Amino acid sequence: MKAPLKITIAFTLAALLLAGCSVVQPTRAPEASYDFGPPPAAIAGAKLDKTVVLYDATAPVWLDVPHLHYRLSQSAPAQPRNYANSNWVMSPVALFTLRLKGRLADAGKGVFSPGDGVRADLALRVEVEEFTQVFDSPTASRGQVRVRASLSGGRDAPVQKTFSVDRPAATADADGGAKALIAASDEAIRQIVEWMAASGKGR
């Protein structure tokens, strides 16, 4: 092999090696875990003059996990995805149950779990149907929470209602999505308690 050719090959290999070393992977977003934070400041909301048994909220299997889910409404609305480095500290369904239980405790005469063995005036079951950050464009998103509540008690047949709440995200990322979903959850819970207060008067 001639010397000039050897030198050319050597320089080429060196350049490729340096190029490989200079290729930096995109910086991964720092890992973050979210809960619902402190409850919203006390407001003059609906009050319940009943005791309540609250069952743990349920959800489809894909949703009852700690992932922070999002959807791309324009390109893939039927494909829920999740952030790689951002999660809830537990299933958002469990977090929703805890938040709802706290609100019911503030609004009513007592809130209990089925295992407490208490015969309460009302029983509330909730199914979380949607809990995702929805991107309507690359820069605009909203937190979407949809739940179906079933209220029973006394001799009347159970009543059901679906609550759907959207809240805009301040930023088009996981942090903005988490905050929007918390705000949407708090509003959905406020509406549930108001509905219970109206539905439970005659029970």
Range name among 37-41, 48-52, 135-139, 173-177 with the lowest pLDDT average: 37-41
pLDDT of residue 43: 58
pLDDT at residue 174 greater than cutoff 70: yes
Q: Which of 82-91, 108-117, 146-155: highest mean pLDDT? A: 82-91
Over range 167-194, report the average pLDDT. 97
pLDDT band for 199, please (50, 70, 90 cuts).
confident
**pLDDT band of 44, cuts 50, 70, 90:** low
Residues 62 and 80 sit within 8 Å (Cβ to Cβ): yes
Distances (CA, A) of 32 to 2, 68, 84, 185: 57, 10, 10, 20
pLDDT of 9 reads: 42
Instruction: State mean pLDDT over 15-31.
Output: 43
Question: pLDDT-based confidence at 41, cuts 50/70/90?
Answer: confident
Q: Average per-residue pLDDT in the chain? A: 85
- In this predicted model, what pLDDT tens digit does every residue of 90-100 receive, in sequence order? 999 999 999 99
Give how far Cα 110 sits from Cα of 50, 113, 116, 127, 143, Å: 7, 10, 12, 21, 30
Domains and CATH numbers, the chain: 47-199 (3.40.50.10610)
**What's the pLDDT score for residue 29?**
55
Q: How confident is the model at residue 200 (pLDDT cuts 50, 70, 90)?
A: low
User: Is 123 within 8 Å of 153 (Cβ atoms)?
Assistant: yes
Residue 169: pLDDT above 60?
Answer: yes
- Secondary structure E strands in 73-190: 76-88, 110-112, 122-137, 140-153, 156-168
Sign of the four-CA dihedral 73, 75, 80, 85: negative
pLDDT at 42 exceeding the cut of 80: no
Tens-digit pLDDT profile for residues 112-127: 999 988 889 999 999 9
